[in-house]
Structure 1
């Protein structure tokens, strides 16, 4: 809620202007429903002050209404000080009507949370025009009224700033129900089309039209009842011109509503009346808001010397990249800036862009390991676990004998072999009926292998022919290890 500080007698009664001779102002009574008041104008107060208005006692959250057609000259949402939350109306003749101690509590409590939606009527702010009888606020106990019965402190100031005892005006005040049938009374309509998490808060988009004018509506948001800002509904929306041809197309809006705390946030959005009158509620969508980084470990790939871990991470408070720290068996193993372009992430989270991918090479010894990745928090919140993976790190060659087929006097052998310690082709030893018959290398391109082992390339296939006689034979192929580890059997076939 915009905060305006106006140093006048209303806020500082010790500096009060001289009292004006009793006069009856034609007003609407300022509270809807049952209330009680007395002529306590001028009563002594602490610090040598005197009471500059009348206290009207009523139930907390009872509706407070405009006493005249006027403009809101001051709207202060600050429950500290003597007056607490305050609204001041100024009519066309310069008379001012002050409402003090407006509500600062959540419904059913005395918590002092001071939520804007329960202090002033939604859709109103400093500068708004109102008509007599229109709801503008709620009875409360803010300021130095805390600890007393809920009431409205009401003052009337003349154009020369002299103070009028409001008692007789209140006694004579009209109590006609608010009809909302004045010119320009129709409330704005509209829709919320999109609600999504965005850096710094919640992005809300939609449209709003005031049927009484082609001008833009001011849209106001209240996340969990608090003031969340405003925006002009003036963006181009071609679909609106078709649906509302007399209103034009420039009635779209998109606004960032600041949110810093995690949890479910219900944001009520109102279109403020362009003329004097009630706001139109566009909707109250809810969204579960996270403040800790989130993301995914997409892949863990074996590579020479260890593994490569890759994925993405976003800190919901910022659009910038987020660091990732990786631990293996509980020990810090490395970090990444998390700034690799990921178009798929941008498609899923358009408010954050694409620079949120990470890729990190880790040195890992042979055996079973637990690898965990954490997103490092930037703003509110804390570091969070992105995910953990089991790693089985072997040093012996991987391989497969795809076929060993006999055609006449020739056995054709084919397959592949990879040594996890190197990207180089693996040497092969071949045995026929237990007798070593030759050396070969697994260096034939195999385009299918990078899909399973992306860090080793495709030149790990083998294929060769063995001449044989007509008797059955057993063919065995071994992959010869390089570095730590052991030679491994690729496979045996009897053909």
Structure 2
């Protein structure tokens, strides 16, 4: 009996020396996954809205279209994005069929290039014709000057008659509709002045070239 008691005392002493907690929480045996010091945390970013992308996939901030355009000495923007004054050709007096003169300039550019308002104004007519193709007439803020955009490939999304445009606002894209030579994509850009804005379709023509180049 004494030997049994001595054995129990010996076993109790061994447990105390080993530091074992007889009342330990069973969950304390769970394995903890270490964090690697060289891991880089993932940064949370707001999802990109598809409306913030242009046709090339670049992000666009508000008013980027207008802010990236330079007003020429004549007070107008070149109405095709990305075309510098040095690439413009004065075709205002070029001969056309039926004894007509061009009374406009052709701004050559790839299909789909953005066309913007050369000056602020109001859209007085969106019209598709045999000669001009997809066209837009914009009456300037003076109610006398008309800006004519023709041979468009398409209108800007949501553009409607009566819309008020700021300088640089989208009108459409470059194309070859109407009587333009197929695949000779360009913007036919004309300016004229009228006495009565109700007669916006016809007036005294003005050469856009010097207004766009300062020459």
Instruction: Indicate whether the TM-score tops 0.5.
Output: yes
Pair 1:68 & 2:110 matched:
no
More helix per residue: 2
Match of residue 138 from structure 1: 173
> What TM-score do the two structures reach when normalised by structure 2?
0.58
Match of residue 26 from structure 1: 75
Quote the offset at 1:146 in angstroms: 3.8
Identify the match of residue 132 of structure 2 among 72, 83, 90: 83
5 Å-filtered alignment, 1:325-340, equals none
- String of CA shifts for 1:111-148, please: whole Å, max 9, x gaps: xxxxxxxx111111111111001111100000011425
Match of residue 122 from structure 1: 157
Quote the offset at 1:33 in angstroms: 1.1
Distance in structure 2 (CA, Å) of the matches to 1:43 and 1:127: 32
Pair 1:166 & 2:201 matched:
no
- String of CA shifts for 1:365-400, please: whole Å, max 9, x gaps: xxxxxxxxxxxxxxxxxxxxxxxxxxxxxxxxxxxx
Quote the offset at 1:159 in angstroms: 2.9
Which secondary structure state, in structure 2, belongs to the residue aligned with residue 133 of structure 1? coil
Match of residue 22 from structure 2: none
Distance in structure 2 (CA, Å) of the matches to 1:32 and 1:54: 16
Match of residue 63 from structure 2: none
RMSD: 1.8
- String of CA shifts for 1:312-369, please: whole Å, max 9, x gaps: xxxxxxxxxxxxxxxxxxxxxxxxxxxxxxxxxxxxxxxxxxxxxxxxxxxxxxxxxx
Distance in structure 1 (CA, Å) of the matches to 2:167 and 2:156: 14
Match of residue 213 from structure 1: none
Query: Is the CA contact 2:89–2:105 (under 8 Å) kept in the aligned structure 1?
Result: yes
Count of aligned pairs:
133
Change (3 A) 1:159 1:25: farther
Distance in structure 2 (CA, Å) of the matches to 1:44 and 1:69: 30
More strand per residue: 1
Change (3 A) 1:163 1:25: farther
Which secondary structure state, in structure 2, belongs to the residue aligned with residue 167 of structure 1? helix
Change (3 A) 1:48 1:148: farther
Distance in structure 1 (CA, Å) of the matches to 2:125 and 2:100: 23
Quote the offset at 1:25 in angstroms: 4.3
Distance in structure 2 (CA, Å) of the matches to 1:57 and 1:65: 14
Distance in structure 1 (CA, Å) of the matches to 2:165 and 2:150: 18
Pair 1:54 & 2:96 matched:
no
User: Can you give the 5+ residue segments of structure 1 that lack an aligned partner in the other structure?
Assistant: 1-23, 104-118, 174-495
Query: Is the CA contact 2:74–2:213 (under 8 Å) kept in the aligned structure 1?
Result: no
Pair 1:99 & 2:134 matched:
no
Distance in structure 1 (CA, Å) of the matches to 2:74 and 2:190: 12
Moved >2 Å (runs of 4+): 34-37
User: Can you give the 5+ residue segments of structure 2 that lack an aligned partner in the other structure?
Assistant: 1-72, 196-202
Pair 1:41 & 2:92 matched:
yes
Which secondary structure state, in structure 1, belongs to the residue aligned with residue 212 of structure 2? helix
Match of residue 14 from structure 1: none
Change (3 A) 1:50 1:69: same
Distance in structure 2 (CA, Å) of the matches to 1:86 and 1:25: 23
Q: Which has the higher contact order (CA 8 A, sep 6+)?
A: 2
> What TM-score do the two structures reach when normalised by structure 1?
0.26
